[in-house]
Homo-oligomer: A and B are copies of this chain.
Amino acid sequence: MEKSLINTIEQDVKFSEVDSLGIVWHGHYVQYFEDGREAFGKEHNLRYLDFYKQGYVVPIVSIQCDYKRVLRYGDRIIIETTYTPCEPAKINFNYRLLNAVTGELVVTGSTTQVFLSKDSFTLQLINPGFFQDWKVLQGLHETAAR
Binding site for B on A (CB under 8 A): 12, 14-16, 18-23, 25-27, 30-31, 34-35, 38, 47-49, 57, 59-67, 70, 73-74, 121
Contacts and interface: CB of A to CB of B under 8 A. Distances in A.
A35 B57 contact: no
Which of A16, A31, A35 is the most central at the interface, judged by chain B CB atoms within 10 Å of its CB?
Answer: A16
A146 B18 CA distance: 38
Interface of A is mostly: mixed
A67 B60 contact: yes
Contacts of A18: 19-20
Given A22-B20, A73-B20, A74-B49, A38 B15 contact: yes
A15 B26 contact: no
A15 B48 contact: yes
Given A49-B73, A60-B67, A67-B59, A19 B27 contact: no
A59 B26 contact: yes
Given A62-B66, A65-B62, A73-B48, A15 B20 contact: yes
Contacts of A35: 14
